[in-house]
Amino acid sequence: MEVNRDEAERCIDIATEALTNDQPEKAQRFLDKAQRLFPTEKAKALQDLIARNGFKPRHGGHSHFNGTPGPRQRQTTCQETRHEEKPSENLKPYTADQLEAVQRIKQCKDFYEILGVQKDAPEDELKRSYRKLALKFHPDKNHAPGATEAFKAIGNAYAVLSNANKRRQYDQCGEERRHPSRQGQDDGNFEADISPEDLFNMFFGGGYPASNGHAYTNGRMRYQRAERRERQRDGGLALFVQVMPILILVIVSALSQIMVNSPAYSLSFRPSAGYTQKRLTENLKVPYYVGEQFSREFTGVNLKNLERTVEDDYISNLRNNCWKEKQQKEGMLYRARYFGDTDLYQRAQRARTPSCAKLSEITASAHG
């Protein structure tokens, strides 16, 4: 019953206001409700006061408290009852455990007590505690009175304690700390740099699963759709600014490749784009392909220097291919010996190394 005290006191306040406004029927309803939630002497005294004085005639009615109301008064009373109780119908249900948990947060004396951790708690423990409490007290899940303030207090506690500088300052203040469950000017220098909603979204990726899009500020809810659209636009601009250097780098690379002159020859075994004319070097008879304008651009000494470059590149390619062929053959021989595979050994012995043979031929020709 203790957990319903706040709700009972709220009903008593409504009943008192109703009596002030000459609405005894409404006052009687809320006093009855207050007594069901949490019986108090104050509510009982108000009920006795109404019982002694009785209801005054209203809107031309002729019945009293102890009398039987007429049809017109019954209709008026029913309409007023539906009108006055409509806000209560919109209140979402909550459990006694949820209300008790909210009251526990309100009674906490410091941020460590709110998160339920020791003063030397590491970062991982703070995160685990915040995750658990944030889901438990999120106003979309916990509809108990004060859940919004408790959720904000939990977010503020984690935001301060997870910041090394703020935590050190907070610890140095000692007993002079303000009550952490009250937001606003009473928090001194220990305001979080991030709102509880943004902190929650950082942890859980965009809000509580059953979120209705509300934001909680000073204990009240307001829609943030326009603000979210603004954030999305800002986020798109920020993303573009971040990607811009990469785009510039790609564009510069593409332009540099376009501006670089293409090589004058190709050592491929067949014609390719831009290299359709086949030629042989004068010394080693190395085949290579050139463009249609080659004969006009390279003559005399320039042609000899180019063919010397072609032969050097050709020999370098032969050396690389020869080394690969030898490595492949030696690998086959090693596997054949290791596994005792006679067939693999014979195939390895018969494996050809054409690049090595060609390289030996060129070397012999040069020495000859």
The answer to whether residues 356 and 270 belong to one domain is yes
pLDDT band at 269 (very low <50, low <70, confident <90, very high): confident
Task: Quickly state the pLDDT bin for 133 (edges 50, 70, 90).
Answer: very high
Residues 102 and 47 in one domain: no
Q: Does position 83 have pLDDT exceeding 70, yes or no?
A: no
Question: What are the DSSP E strand ranges found in the chain?
Answer: 214-217, 220-223, 265-266, 277-280, 287-290
Same domain membership, residue 107 and residue 43: no
pLDDT beyond 90 at 202 = no
Q: How far is CA 230 from CA 199, 224, 233, 234, 237, in A?
A: 18, 10, 5, 6, 11
Question: Would 302 be classed as within a structural domain?
Answer: yes
Mean pLDDT, range 124-146, rounded to an integer: 88
pLDDT bin (cut points 50, 70, 90) of residue 205 is: low
Domain assignment of residue 26, given as a range: 1-53
Pairing of strands 277-280, 287-290: antiparallel
- What pLDDT does residue 295 have? 85
* CA atoms lying within 13 Å on the CB side of residue 88: 12
What pLDDT band is residue 259 in, cutting at 50, 70 and 90?
Answer: low
Tell me, yes or no, whether 49 lies in a domain: yes
| pLDDT tens figures, 34-66 | 888 888 888 888 888 788 775 543 443 333 334
Token readout for 122 is: 């590491």
Number of domains in the chain: 3
* Highest mean pLDDT of the ranges 11-20, 114-123, 218-227: 114-123
Q: CB neighbours of 207 closer than 8 A, spacing ≥ 6?
A: 197, 200, 201, 213
pLDDT of residue 52: 76
Q: What is the CATH number of the domain that holds 107?
A: 1.10.287.110
For residues 16 and 25, the answer to whether their CB atoms sit within 8 Å is: no
Which range, 199-203, 252-256, 345-349, has the best average confidence (pLDDT)? 345-349
Give the model's pLDDT for residue 63: 36
- Whether 320 has a pLDDT exceeding 50, the answer reads yes
In a domain, 184, yes or no: no
DSSP 95: -
- The more confident residue out of 183 and 315 is 315
pLDDT digits (tens, 9 = 90+) for 141-184: 888 888 889 999 998 889 889 888 888 888 888 545 444 444 44
Q: Look at 39 and 262; give whichever has higher pLDDT.
A: 39
**Best CA proximity match to 130, nearest among 203, 179, 207:** 203
pLDDT of residue 91: 57
**Average pLDDT, stretch 125-153?**
88
More confident residue, 206 or 43: 43
What pLDDT is stored for residue 197 in this prediction? 74
Which of 175, 209, 242 lies at the terminal end of a domain, its last residue? 175
| pLDDT > 70 in the chain, percent | 71
Looking at every residue in the chain, the average pLDDT score rounds to 76
Element (H, E) at 145: none
Q: Which of 175, 203, 231 lies at the terminal end of a domain, its last residue? A: 175
What is the full DSSP assignment across 171-226? HHHGGGPPPTTS-SGGGTT---SS-HHHHHHHHHTSS-TT--SEEEETTEEEE-HH
pLDDT above 50 (res 235): yes
210 falls within a domain: no
Between 71 and 325, whose confidence is greater?
325
Residue 156 located in a structural domain:
yes
Per-residue pLDDT at 75: 43
Pick the last residue of a domain from 175, 191, 210.
175
pLDDT at 267: 87
DSSP state of 139: T
State the pairing for strand pair 220-223/265-266. unpaired
In a domain, 216, yes or no: no
Amino acid letter at 288?
Y
Residue 67 has pLDDT above 90, yes or no: no
Return the H-helix or E-strand segment holding 247.
helix 225-259
How high is the pLDDT of residue 77? 43
pLDDT computed for residue 216 by the predictor: 41
Are residue 104 and residue 19 in the same domain, yes or no?
Answer: no
pLDDT at 323 over 90: yes
Q: Is a pLDDT exceeding 50 seen at residue 290?
A: yes
313 falls in which pLDDT band (50, 70, 90)?
A: very high
Same domain, 270 and 362: yes
Does residue 208 fall inside a structural domain? no
67 vs 54: CA distance, rounded Å: 10
**Single-letter code of the amino acid located at 193:** D
Whether residue 76 is contained in a domain is answered as: no
Token digits for 279? Answer: 């030629």
What is the value of pTM for the model shown? 0.34
